Structure formats: structure tokens, C-alpha cells
Structure 1
Amino acid sequence: MKEFDLKRAADACAKAWAEAKKHGDDAAEALMMADLVTSQSTKKLFTARAERALAASENYRKAADVCLKVMDEMDHKRRLRPR
């Protein structure tokens, strides 16, 4: 295993977590806006935006989980390798 590969996995994990947070924040903002508006059509638009943002956030969270598993596997193999 190359240390460069582990760094790339860590960078991908950090990027995925940042995107998950960004989309989660966007979902929260859209839900707050949906509560503030009185028009039902506008409320539906904000709710739909929140649902899309939540789906994106969940997808990025899953990607971050995969990165963590890959990093753990890389570390495990590195520790098992005879020197």
C-alpha cells in the first residue's frame, strides 16, 4: 500500500462529508422556508427542494462511509504485512 493511496482516500472522505453537510444544511434551510411561506404551491417547491437535498446528503454520507471502510481496510492490510 502506498501512503499516497491512503491520503487520496482520506481526501475523498473529507470531500464527501463536506458535501453531505452542505446538502443537509440546504435541506434544513428549505424546510424552514417551507414553514414560513403561506402559498401551498411555494411550500411544495421548498419541500421538494428539501427532499432532493436530503437524498443528496444521504448519498454523500454513504460515500463517506465507504471511504472510511476503504481506509480501515488499507490500514488493516498495512499492519498485517510482514516487514
Structure 2
Amino acid sequence: MYEVLERAFSALVHVVSAVGVDVQRKAHKASRVAKGQELEVEHLVEVTEIDPEQARTLLRKHGADWPKLKDEAEALKKED
């Protein structure tokens, strides 16, 4: 009985570990602006006059929701 429980627990630990690694990969991937999005960063900087790092942050947060991006960029400019 003990051996069966030990194998089941080992399998469960393996599955949980695999899921954790997958979640970490997705989080890392989402935390960076893709190379193709660099043009979007440049465009957002030109249109809103915020700095590139702020533009990257907004793009990570809102994706390609341009009305939301512009609203957030305006709010950032007012804070400065």
C-alpha cells in the first residue's frame, strides 16, 4: 500500500512541477515585448510622446488596444 501511495505522490509532484515550469515560461514570454512589436513601441512613442520604456510597459499590459494605450499614455504624461 505504501509503495502505491509513494508512486502516486511522485507522479503528482512531477505533474505539478511540469505545470509550474510551463507557467513560468508563459510569464517570462509575456513580460517581454516581441521583436515585431518594437515598431508598435516606436509608433506609440511618436504618437503620445512618452518614453520607450513606458510604451513597452503599456503594450505588455494592454496589447494592441490602441484607444486604451492612448488613454493610459495621456494619463502618464499628466503625472509627469
Q: TM-score, normalised by structure 2?
A: 0.45
Q: TM-score, normalised by structure 1?
A: 0.44
Answer 1 or 2: higher relative contact order, Cα 8 Å, separation at least 6.
1
